[in-house]
Amino acid sequence: MALVAGFLAQAMQMALVLIAAPLLTGFVRKVKARLQRRRGPSVLQPYRDLYRLMRKEVVLAENASWLFRVTPYLIFAVTWVAASLVPTFASGLMFSWAADLIAIIALLGSARFFLALAGLDVGTSFGGIGSSREVMIASLAEPAMLLIVFPLALVAGSTQLSNVAEFMVSPDVGLRVSLGLALIALIMVAIAENGRIPIDNPSTHLELTMIHEAMVLEYSGRHLAMIELAASMKLLLYLSLLACLFLPWGLATQGMGVAAYAVGLTSYLGKLAAGGVLLAVFELVVAKMRVFRVPEFLGAALMLGLLGTLLLFLSRSL
Amino acid sequence: MQLVAVALACVAVLLGAAVLAVAVSARRVASTVVYGACLAASSIALAAALVHFAGTSPVTLTLPLGLPWLGAHFRLDALAALFLAVVNLGGASASLYALGYGKHEPLPGRVLPFFPAFLAGMNLVVLADDAFTFLLCWEFMSLASWALVMAHHRVEDNVRAAFIYLVMASFGTLALLLAFGVLAGPDGAYGFAAIREGVQTPLENTLVLALVLIGAGSKAGLVPLHVWLPLAHPAAPSHVSALMSGVMTKVAVYAFVRVAFDLLDGSDWWQSMVVLFIGGGTAALGVLYALMQHDLKRLLAYHTVENIGIIYIGLGLALAFQANGMMAATALALTAALFHVFNHSLFKSLLFFGAGAVLTATGQRDMEALGGLIRRMPYTSFAFLVGCAAISALPPLNGFASEWLTFQAILQSPDLPQWGLKFMVPAVGGLLALSAALAAACFVKAFGITFLGRPRSHAAETAREVDRFSLTAMFGLAGLCLLAGILPGFVIDALAPVTLSLVGERMPAQADVAWLSIVPIAEARSSYNGLLVFVFVAFSASFAAYIIHRFASHALRRAPAWDCGFPEPSVRTQYTAGSFAQPIRRVFGTLIFRAREHVDMPPPGDSRPARFHVDLRDLVWEVLYLPVAAIVNSTATRLNHFQFLTIRRYLGLVFLALVTLLLVLAIWL
């Protein structure tokens, strides 16, 4: 019985990230539009877009290979698995131990690896520019992310997200400089990884500034739907990660019953909404930066992570 | 006893095959016979090594060869069995690959005799149990591989590569010779058993470790002793490149592990800092060098340098933990390093086989002239893609499992008491993270430019898939990469006897952890389950594909590429290897390679072509090697004077030398 309940909770989390992801994207767009004094499309627009893309035919470049056609499903699957491994409404779910934070980062790395390959597959110059810039950004964002893992893991004594989250609600965390640095660095990495302003513009139509959009330029129809959904889930993943690491309040633990799950779910949706509003506000107050300023931005995140780690090596209480 | 005899018998077969090859190399069947014999011998030796893992006690054998009062000692213990398995797995797959690939060899007489000899040399190094046999076999291995580098000796670059390799190999052997000299002591106790019992002073200990780091490191490709590696490995035929990169560098790691963890009594913490520093630097620099290459085989060779760095990071961590008596962490770090040794031998061999297949099919190693091969060579490209994903440490493949263990070992390090290590280890962790991310970028480039896009030359356009033997070898290794990635627990358990025999501690048994997860320390700290991740991803992908094909539109239309409305028919508008790496070159290269871009843009109206040129400087070569070469040259020029003396002056010189020596002796005693 416990097994079935555990399985159900895990399945619920998988369904939740899948369903909530487009909503989050729509919500961020809506908030941005309202802040710009536009009415903006409905928050449900991303679902409609996905539906529409699914119904359309795929226009495939003549020389696209099998890799190009497989990649959308692969990216979707990998991102989905990674997003379901991050605690959302409850920690310690049935399979949460299958991959720790390092493995989740590496899973996202797999998705990016294949997306960058897909960008090169057709052999167009825009695909190349996207892939080449994406791997440059990743080559700094990924180490920065791992250096953020170090202080978290050292403080909590675990790289397992559920354990870190449980530690973070316990009273022995306290205010720590290293965690503060890790938080700032994680936000910077999250912005870069999701291709948000100031790194990349998700709604750009100016070719030379595109990174993510340039890689997926040749995709259409159901393939594009998969990629869009994966991108939404990635945004959700990073917000969940921030929520479960730095705002773990309300998180239910495995087997606490339906009421706790309901509290967890409500607080999770609240955290997502808050994160979405903050993201929208942030995107409106900063300008996009030149692509060769990005290394400085991410280098700062890298240094913050390293500094946080070094502080912890100096003293466990910092 | 029997297992050593079996392994030595396999070596004898290999040496016999080498001799046979000299006789028959002109015949058409020669390559089939020789590589078939190599395949059989390596497979049997591999089986012997695997059987040994079941039993734990070391077995020894002494043959009446070598120095008359010493004999040739051979010993098969857990460490030797591990590396014997790595050597022969690589050897067997290279032989299988060569059954097909070797048929394209233009000069079989220059490859066939040396290939089995090279394999035999590597086997013997791993089995040797006294310093004399070890050094003899080491040199035999070096010379056999040198001959293979020289196989295509009409190519000028190969001659230069072989010369640099020979110089560096001799230098490395010299360092090892001195190391064993110090270890053996004044009494000449050359047997490893006697060395193990001996006690070294701290000075001797440091000296030996430094000499072994130089000697084994020059063979493994540690920066700054790596310069020969990216020249020599690609110069050899591809199956030999696979052996040199995938296996011979591991034999060098074996030499280091054997001396540092087995023959020496232990080490100081500051010594481990040196190893960590060199390991971290090697990892980061190796991958940055690799990113700048556009020769596929040279890129792979530079990447070997990076992976050797990762292995040495693990070894350095193990030394640091051992010096502080943290034995569980030592076992973890050592297991991570040895796991990576195994993994790297798998995927690096696979990638070199793939590069060889591309070379066979197109005659090209230059990525700028390739492209679009995924359509012409679907099987090769699939196997190569698996290798690329594995070496980029993507879950659920094997490269990730060992790097994950290395990260777990790094997370053990705040408990280290020394301040130096407290600062060094996180920095090395950052370098490791950086090199892992850059490796992914590097292999997006390697695969994307070579196999994807549109063909950049006629050769790439008309490439044909390679033979079945080559494909079998590649797919076998790709399968092992996946298997070791989704079932890492079994590999870790198999490595337990090795760490037990070296440091007296092992990682917790993984086979009985629920769901075949791996748990390096405790479940609450960290766990990873490659199998489950693989199943999840496979399930989600199939689920998504099913839903899409059930409910979404099936319509599909082939059309010209969109490219934002401006598709350019010329294939030269595609991204190239150079342009793909340009952003990374700008970020890292300006500092590390002093990269300078020169743009020559003619003014409007001028019909000259615009020119773009990038200047990359290899600072290691310029700062370290060129001055040494200059000193050697100028000394040689001065000494040249002595070549043209009269007989009286020669006699005078001899007399003078004699008197000086006698004087020295008189003062000394």
Q: Is residue B578 part of a domain?
A: no
Q: Is residue B353 part of a domain?
A: yes
- Determine the average pLDDT of the residues in B56-79: 86
Amino acid at A43: V
Report the residue of chain B nearest A99, measured CA to CA. B528
Q: How many residues comprise chain B?
A: 669
| Nearest-by-Cβ selection for B552 from A124, A207, A222 | A222
Please answer yes or no on whether A107 and B533 come within 8 Å at the CB atom.
Answer: yes
The total number of structural domains in chain A stands at: 1
Dihedrals φ, ψ of B128, to 5°? Answer: -60, 145
Q: Could you tell me which residues are beta bridge partners of residue A61?
A: B559
- What residues in A contact B560, CB-CB < 8 Å? 61-62
Tell me what pLDDT residue B323 has. 93
CA distance B359 to chain A (A): 21
DSSP B390-436: HHTT-TTSHHHHHHHHHHHHHTTGGG---HHHHHHHHHHHHHHHHHH
Domain end point (choices B544, B578, B600): B544
Q: Does this complex have an ipTM over 0.90?
A: yes
Tokens of A120: 């090169």
B490 and B508 housed in the same domain: yes
B283 and B248 housed in the same domain: no
Report the residue of chain A nearest B530, measured CA to CA. A98
Cα dihedral B540, B546, B548, B554 in deg (nearest 10)? 150
Please answer yes or no on whether B580 and A131 come within 8 Å at the CB atom.
Answer: yes
Q: What is residue B523's three-state secondary structure?
A: coil
Q: What is residue B613's three-state secondary structure?
A: strand
**Chain B interface, best mutation among A71, A136, A218, by max B CB count within 10 A:** A136
Torsion sign across C-alpha atoms A256, A258, A264, A265: positive
Q: Is residue B580 part of a domain?
A: no
Block residue for tokens 């190599």: B38
Residues with pLDDT less than 70, chain A: 1, 205-209, 254-255
Reported as a pLDDT band with limits 50, 70 and 90, residue B145 is: very high
- What residues in B contact A74, CB-CB < 8 Å? 537, 541
182-201 of A, contacting B, C-beta below 8 A: none
Block residue for tokens 């394209």: B104
**Chain B interface, best mutation among A150, A206, A228, A298, by max B CB count within 10 A:** A150
Alpha helices in B25-77 (DSSP H): 30-54
B305 and B230 housed in the same domain: no
Domain end point (choices B517, B544, B571): B544
Q: Is residue B575 part of a domain?
A: no
Reported as a pLDDT band with limits 50, 70 and 90, residue B540 is: very high
B406 and B304 housed in the same domain: yes
> Is B45 within 8 Å of B7 (Cβ atoms)?
yes
A92 in reach of chain B (CB within 8 A): no
Q: What is the C-alpha to C-alpha distance for residues A175 and A184, in angstroms, rounded to an integer?
A: 14
Q: What is the C-alpha to C-alpha distance for residues A17 and A9, in angstroms, rounded to an integer?
A: 12
pLDDT digits (tens, 9 = 90+) for B547-562: 998 988 889 999 998 8
The CA-CA-CA angle for residues B115, B116, B121, to 5°, reads 100
- What residues in A contact B539, CB-CB < 8 Å? 77
The count of CB pairs under 8 A between chains A and B is 287
CA distance A114 to chain B (A): 8
Q: How many residues comprise chain A?
A: 318
Tell me what pLDDT residue B56 has. 66
Report the residue of chain A nearest B453, measured CA to CA. A123
- Determine the average pLDDT of the residues in B87-110: 92
Please answer yes or no on whether B584 and A139 come within 8 Å at the CB atom.
Answer: yes
Q: What is the C-alpha to C-alpha distance for residues A97 and B523, in angstroms, rounded to an integer?
A: 8
Give the residue among A127, A129, A121 at the shortest CA–CA distance from A67: A121
B287 and B312 housed in the same domain: yes
**Chain B interface, best mutation among A13, A51, A63, by max B CB count within 10 A:** A63
The CA-CA-CA angle for residues B545, B547, B553, to 5°, reads 90
Q: What is the C-alpha to C-alpha distance for residues A209 and B564, in angstroms, rounded to an integer?
A: 13
Q: Tell me what percent of the residues of chain B surpass a pLDDT of 70.
A: 99
Q: What is residue B63's three-state secondary structure?
A: strand
A318 in reach of chain B (CB within 8 A): no
Block residue for tokens 């559920």: A162
Q: What is the C-alpha to C-alpha distance for residues A239 and A277, in angstroms, rounded to an integer?
A: 12
Residue A132: give the domain boundaries: 2-314
Q: Residue A125: which H helix or E strand, with range?
A: helix A125-156
pLDDT digits (tens, 9 = 90+) for B249-273: 999 999 999 999 999 987 889 999 9
Q: Is residue B416 part of a domain?
A: yes
State how beta strands B556-559 and A58-61 pair. parallel
| Nearest-by-Cβ selection for A121 from B392, B453, B562 | B453
CA distance A79 to chain B (A): 9
B116 and B6 housed in the same domain: yes
- Determine the average pLDDT of the residues in B221-243: 93
- Determine the average pLDDT of the residues in B472-490: 95
B492-512 residues labelled b (16+ CB within 10 A) or e (exposed): bbbbbbbbebbbebbbbebee
pLDDT, averaged across chain B? 92
B595 or B535: whose pLDDT is higher? Answer: B535
Give the residue among B151, B242, B254, B256 at the shortest CA–CA distance from B214: B256
Give the residue among A160, A178, A311, A174 at the shortest CA–CA distance from A244: A160
A15 in reach of chain B (CB within 8 A): no
B418 and B271 housed in the same domain: yes
> Is B480 within 8 Å of B346 (Cβ atoms)?
yes
pLDDT digits (tens, 9 = 90+) for B187-230: 888 889 999 988 888 999 999 999 999 999 999 999 899 999 99
Residue B152: give the domain boundaries: 1-190+223-261
- What residues in A contact B427, CB-CB < 8 Å? 306
Q: Tell me what percent of the residues of chain B surpass a pLDDT of 90.
A: 70
CA distance B424 to chain A (A): 10
Tell me what pLDDT residue A205 has. 63
Tell me what pLDDT residue A208 has. 66
**Chain A interface, best mutation among B287, B377, B587, by max A CB count within 10 A:** B587
Please answer yes or no on whether A125 and B583 come within 8 Å at the CB atom.
Answer: no
Q: Residue B209: which H helix or E strand, with range?
A: helix B202-220
Amino acid at A299: G
Q: What is the C-alpha to C-alpha distance for residues A269 and A21, in angstroms, rounded to an integer?
A: 11
Residues 6+ apart with CB under 8 A from B13: B37, B40, B41
Query: Crossing angle of helices A45-55/A221-246, nearest 10°?
Result: 150
Q: Residue B451: which H helix or E strand, with range?
A: helix B419-451
Tell me what pLDDT residue A1 has. 66
Residues 6+ apart with CB under 8 A from A241: A86, A161, A186, A190
Q: What is the DSSP letter of B102?
A: G
B416 and B491 housed in the same domain: yes
A91 in reach of chain B (CB within 8 A): no
CA distance B391 to chain A (A): 12
Q: Is the pTM of this model over 0.90?
A: yes
- What residues in B contact A78, CB-CB < 8 Å? 537, 540
Q: What is the C-alpha to C-alpha distance for residues B35 and B24, in angstroms, rounded to an integer?
A: 13
Q: What is the C-alpha to C-alpha distance for residues B427 and B531, in angstroms, rounded to an integer?
A: 31
- What residues in A contact B553, CB-CB < 8 Å? 54-58, 221-222
Q: What is the C-alpha to C-alpha distance for residues A270 and B198, in angstroms, rounded to an integer?
A: 68
Domain end point (choices B544, B562, B595): B544
User: What would the 3-class secondary structure string for B279-316 be?
Assistant: HHHHHHHHHHHHHCCCEHHHHHHHHHHHHHHHHHHHHH
Alpha helices in B504-625 (DSSP H): 530-551, 577-580, 582-584, 590-592, 619-620
Residues 6+ apart with CB under 8 A from A13: A84, A88, A89, A90, A93
pLDDT digits (tens, 9 = 90+) for B580-593: 999 999 999 888 88
Q: What is the C-alpha to C-alpha distance for residues A276 and B462, in angstroms, rounded to an integer?
A: 52
Q: Is the pLDDT of residue B359 over 90?
A: yes
Q: Is residue B570 part of a domain?
A: no
| Nearest-by-Cβ selection for A147 from B430, B555, B579 | B430
Please answer yes or no on whether B395 and A65 come within 8 Å at the CB atom.
Answer: no
pLDDT digits (tens, 9 = 90+) for B16-40: 999 999 988 888 888 999 999 999 9
Query: Crossing angle of helices B398-410/B378-391, nearest 10°?
Result: 10
Q: Could you tell me which residues are beta bridge partners of residue A58?
A: B556
Kindly report the number of other CB atoms within 10 A of residue B555's CB atom. Answer: 12
CA distance B575 to chain A (A): 5
Amino acid at A297: F
Reported as a pLDDT band with limits 50, 70 and 90, residue B332 is: very high
B236 and B283 housed in the same domain: no
Q: What is the C-alpha to C-alpha distance for residues B251 and A156, in angstroms, rounded to an integer?
A: 39
> Is A89 within 8 Å of A252 (Cβ atoms)?
yes
B249 and B312 housed in the same domain: no
CA distance A277 to chain B (A): 30
Q: What is the C-alpha to C-alpha distance for residues A63 and B372, in angstroms, rounded to an integer?
A: 9
B178 and B318 housed in the same domain: no
Torsion sign across C-alpha atoms B177, B182, B183, B185: positive
252-311 of A, contacting B, C-beta below 8 A: 291-292, 295, 302, 305-306, 309-310
Torsion sign across C-alpha atoms A241, A246, A250, A253: positive
Give the residue among B104, B96, B55, B221 at the shortest CA–CA distance from B480: B96
Please answer yes or no on whether B533 and A158 come within 8 Å at the CB atom.
Answer: no
A230 in reach of chain B (CB within 8 A): no
- What residues in B contact A80, CB-CB < 8 Å? 540, 544
Report the residue of chain B nearest A58, measured CA to CA. B556
Dihedrals φ, ψ of B596, to 5°? Answer: -125, 135
Please answer yes or no on whether B533 and A56 come within 8 Å at the CB atom.
Answer: no
A226 in reach of chain B (CB within 8 A): yes
The total number of structural domains in chain B stands at: 3
CA distance B341 to chain A (A): 20
State how beta strands A90-91 and A252-253 pair. parallel
Q: Is the pLDDT of residue B438 over 90?
A: yes
